[in-house]
Amino acid sequence: MARGINRLTGADLRRSKPNVYADGGGLYLQVTKAQDNAAINRSWLFRFAINGRERWAGLGSTNTVSLAEARERARQCRLLVLDGIDPIETRKQRRAQEAAASKRAITFDRCAAAFITAKRNEWRSQKHAATWPATIHKYVSPAIGKLPVDVIDTPLIMKVLQPIWDRIPETASRLRGRIESILDWATVSGFRQGENPARWKGRLEHLLAAPRKIKPKQNMAAMQYAAVPAFMAQLKAEQGMSARALEFLILSATRSGEVRGAVWSEFDLIHAVWEIPGPRTKAGRPHRVPLPARCIGILRALPRHGDLVFPGRAGGMMADSNLVYLLRKLGHGDVTAHGFRSSFRTWSAEQTAFPHEVAEQCLAHVVSNAVVRAYKRTDLFDKRRRLMFAWASYCSRPAPAGATVTKLVRPSA
């Protein structure tokens, strides 16, 4: 066998006598017997000395690493040693870094779920809290949800947004903002680095047309208050959880999400009070609702199969579409559940002598004047109770002849 480097041949790789055979340049073929002496193991070793200390580094089995590959690995090791770097320690550090990177690796979907969980309590609207995961699941997850969040770049964001940018601009614009927030969270959490590819200013503004201006919101279609008593009689005769929820909503002048998300622990049936916690109100502050006798009757008649007072068919929160469907079924498809707050407000202004602020408190509206807010530190509960009882009494009376359903021009409550 010639001396120097590259001494071994293909035939040498079939040696079966246990020994260490030099190829030169620090590369060795190691032949050993298995513990049962029935098999022969062949592997590559690299011998080197650094800081006066001799070390042996394994380069892999001959079953996996060919002679040419072993020689290349040995050459890379010699270069490291030439620079005073220990190949074994370098490999340990690399593996540690790869392991740490693997532990830090997290998909976009996992980041989205963690972000939504962290921020959910900040969202006052139940509907808003529900649309976040729904839009992510529908538009983002199929395209990039399973990808590591640190590889998300501008082309991938465009893959999500381009198909819907012109077709449903309002949803697409909101979705872009949600993706941006999730990626910002991932960056601060240490799961990714660099610029946010979903940011509009300086990035996507150069690739996508400016979002279309959103049309001003139209007032909620509301029933003329003169028609409410006839409708309430019609509604009271209707069976089902949706009918009871809508009847309760009208009599309490509350919002759809507040009623559909109501739980039994919020009610004091003895004192006829419903205390809606701040996180479930639009204003973000607790709201006490005085309940007339019919509301208490509805509650006492309902079955209790869980925490929700008005559950949907599957036991979860009732969908707002249930109330929409019910109104259509009763022939009032051009009226919204929320619009009955306007019916109540108009009736209070035109048919009662109760002060403006009492009606506003019934609707849990935020008083805009800071001075008025500072001096009015009461929720006018006793006066509101009398007004709500008067409203319930009005709703139960026979309807005037010729009552019709129409949109109110008064801004929605």
pLDDT of residue 101: 62
pLDDT of residue 362: 93
The string of pLDDT tens digits covering residues 140-151 is 999 999 999 989
The string of pLDDT tens digits covering residues 382-400 is 999 999 999 999 999 875 5
Domains of the chain, CATH where assigned = 11-104 (3.30.160.390), 108-206 (1.10.150.130), 225-395 (1.10.443.10)
User: Is 228:250 a contact under the CB 8 Å cutoff?
Assistant: yes
- Mean pLDDT value across the chain: 86
User: Is 334:405 a contact under the CB 8 Å cutoff?
Assistant: yes
Distance of CA 47 to the CA centre of its chain: 55
At residue 403, does pLDDT exceed 60?
no
At residue 405, does pLDDT exceed 70?
no
User: How confident is residue 266, by pLDDT bands cut at 50, 70 and 90?
Assistant: very high
User: How confident is residue 176, by pLDDT bands cut at 50, 70 and 90?
Assistant: very high
Backbone dihedral region of 17: left (phi > 0), alpha (psi from -120 to 50 degrees) or beta? beta
The string of pLDDT tens digits covering residues 268-313 is 999 999 999 988 888 778 999 999 999 999 999 999 988 999 998 8
Q: Is the pTM of this model over 0.75?
A: no
Of 278 and 217, the one with more pLDDT: 278
Helices 320-329, 241-252: inter-axial angle, 10-degree rounding:
100
The first and second tokens of residue 103, run together, are 């532990």
**Neighbour tally for 191: CB within 10 Å:** 20
pLDDT of residue 377: 54
| Mean pLDDT value of segment 250-266 | 94
258 CB-contact burial (10 Å; exposed 0-12 / middle 13-18 / buried 19+): buried
The string of pLDDT tens digits covering residues 112-121 is 999 998 888 7
